[in-house]
Structure 1
Amino acid sequence: MELIAHERAQSFLEAAGPVLLGDEARHNLMFGICSTLTEDPDAYPTFRLWTVASDGETVLAMLMTPPFNLLVGQPADPAALQFAATRLMEQSIVLPGVTGALPEVDAFAECWQRLSGTSRRLRMAQGIYAVRTVRLPPAVEGGMRFANTDDRALIVEWFEAFAAESLPEGAAHHEAEDVVDRRLRSSGGFALWEDREIVSLSGFGGQTPHGIRIGPVYTPPPLRRRGYASALVAHLSQHLLGGGRDYCFLYTDLGNPTSNRIYMDVGYELVCESADYAFE
């Protein structure tokens, strides 16, 4: 086997495409990061892109955008995970943690623990969901519109509130203003639900070859349990699917049964489970 480093997202995707497209939903985050690297290279000042090849065929894809975790894909050959971990260790690559779908993320984490002597801590167990056909919820007061630069201050405020409430303790994160500004000028963006005032927010972006990711989704606590988030995600997903995407994806916190239920109610189906581990 051979560990190959790529300097550009395009060459990485050309090599990794065969293994990533085998389960596009599972790898939507990896595709989305590459989309961001192509659209806005300054979003990640440093990045590392690797594939593992065996007999000339790609069997594993991985990437890292420090200080964020290593992101591992599903291997075509499970032995590639041990090989990759060994090669990264030999190259003195520092890993803050690893993120990926089960079971590959667990397999890599176990290899890294043996090699490095570190332990792992689960920061968040997540579900990766996808939808092809939306089930619109019963009538909810208000309607959806897309955000513009006039909404920037509120979006930044709510993005910060979402991060404080939802992101695992100690996890790396982008500054809210940077994320919002990048989304507002990219192929992604934000949708808002209005009921006499703005009551819910959903981002979208991170394009894949045939889909796009939804999130973050945020409703201020006093406005929850009125169906606003469900209605917004359903109508936004339907709009994006109607625009030519084959599916929309989103991540959920598996520790929050309410969010998992409301997305399933509008047509999202669980593709796989994912884990975010910190190495300590």
Structure 2
Amino acid sequence: MTTTPGTRWHLTADPAEFLDRARLFLHAEPALNTALLTVADTLRTRGPHVYGDGDPLLGWLERGGRVRGAFLRTPPHRVAVSPLDPGATDARDALDALAGELADRSPELPGVMSDRATAEAFADAWRRRTGAVATENLRQRLYRLDELTPPEPGPPGTARVATAADRDLLVRWHEAFLADLGQERLTDPGEWADARLAYGGVTLWEAPDGTPVSMAGAHRLLAGQVRVAPVYTPPEHRARGHAAAVTAEVSRAALAAGAREVLLFTDLANPTSNGLYRRIGYWPVRDYAQFTFTPGR
């Protein structure tokens, strides 16, 4: 572990140390920190290079003997920062200090993701430090399940947990999901499918003839929360209620497994999916954003 003089950011490459030091902070608001929790746990359980060849960098912000913020980065991907309050002077100073830390270590940093206010504040700090241009390229909304309301009537067919026989299908659909969002691949699609299959982490909706027509994944139960992702329906099967039905089934299973919170992110550019999740009982928590950094002129 290293601690940079003059700042309160403590840095490490060890996800187990990060989770030990930042656990109370992250678990206090597991919904707002769902991405950091799941990525750090994946690094801990599947190895430090599951997201790429570069060594991960993780850290926590300590003030008054308590952890007040956290971040992680898995090169070559963006840095993920816990929500802070950019309106507070100490939070702005902390984000500026973090930008300085990362500019020294990772001047090629491709971007940031966090709740929208924190992402904007970090992007501004990065611009001041490096002269880079920051472009918002994805805006999402975090939803939390309130009262599950499965669609009635539901579409024809039934749900089932994906098995090893579905591996090739999961790989294809996962890549298609990322292409729809215009997002980079974080892990190898085959490794992603294998990891999900190991704990029953993908549910398929099958038409009456047995044809899979939609899927919904779910992360492992962690800090009392399960995050649903990804949800994907091929274009030829859309607008028939399959995504709502399979998401409702995955949400029901998460509650049955003991989740206190069931969460999901939506792309705000897709009003159809946002409306769908509201209809089955999800309510907005906070907006998140992703910025891409490019060299300034």
TM-score, length of structure 2 as denominator length: 0.87
Q: What is the DSSP-based 3-state SS (H/G/I as helix, E as strand, rest coil) of the residue aligned with 1:103?
A: helix
Q: 1:16 to 1:192 in 2, by over 3 A?
A: same
Q: What is the DSSP-based 3-state SS (H/G/I as helix, E as strand, rest coil) of the residue aligned with 1:43?
A: coil
Q: How far off is 1:59 after superposition?
A: 2.0
Q: How far off is 1:176 after superposition?
A: 1.8
Match of 2:240 among 204, 226, 234: 226
Q: How far off is 1:150 after superposition?
A: 0.5
Alpha-carbon RMSD: 1.8
1:162 equivalent to 2:171? Answer: no
Give the partner amino acid of 1:26. Answer: L
Q: 1:233 to 1:221 in 2, by over 3 A?
A: same
Which residue does 1:61 correspond to in 2?
70
* Residues in 1 aligned to 2:221 and 2:31: alpha-carbon distance in whole angstroms: 11
Q: 1:236 to 1:172 in 2, by over 3 A?
A: closer
* Residues in 1 aligned to 2:265 and 2:103: alpha-carbon distance in whole angstroms: 30
The more displaced of 131-140 and 192-201 is 131-140
After superposition, give the CA deviation of every residue in 1:78-100 in whole Å (9 maximum; x if it has no partner).
13212221233244553110000
Higher RCO (CA 8 Å, separation ≥ 6 residues): 1
Q: 1:277 to 1:207 in 2, by over 3 A?
A: farther
* 1:119-198 matches, cutoff 5 A: 119-140=133-154, 141-168=156-183, 171-185=184-198, 187=199, 189-195=201-207, 196=209, 197-198=211-212
Tell whether the 8 Å contact from 1:31 to 1:206 is kept in structure 2 after alignment. Answer: no
Tell whether the 8 Å contact from 2:217 to 2:250 is kept in structure 1 after alignment. Answer: no
Give the partner amino acid of 1:176. Answer: P
Q: How far off is 1:247 after superposition?
A: 1.5
After superposition, give the CA deviation of every residue in 1:155-183 in whole Å (9 maximum; x if it has no partner).
11211221222234xx4533322211222
Which residue does 1:52 correspond to in 2?
61
* Residues in 2 aligned to 1:52 and 1:58: alpha-carbon distance in whole angstroms: 6
Give the partner amino acid of 1:43. Answer: V
Tell whether the 8 Å contact from 1:36 to 1:206 is kept in structure 2 after alignment. Answer: no
Q: How far off is 1:215 after superposition?
A: 1.2
Tell whether the 8 Å contact from 1:67 to 1:172 is kept in structure 2 after alignment. Answer: no
Q: How far off is 1:7 after superposition?
A: 3.2
Instruction: Give the gaps of 5 or more residues in structure 2.
Output: 1-6
Identical pairs, percent: 32
* Residues in 1 aligned to 2:23 and 2:107: alpha-carbon distance in whole angstroms: 24
* Residues in 1 aligned to 2:69 and 2:266: alpha-carbon distance in whole angstroms: 25
Tell whether the 8 Å contact from 1:148 to 1:184 is kept in structure 2 after alignment. Answer: yes
TM-score, length of structure 1 as denominator length: 0.92
After superposition, give the CA deviation of every residue in 1:37-81 in whole Å (9 maximum; x if it has no partner).
122115234311111222332222000011110000123741321
Q: What is the DSSP-based 3-state SS (H/G/I as helix, E as strand, rest coil) of the residue aligned with 2:11?
A: strand
How many residues are aligned here? 277
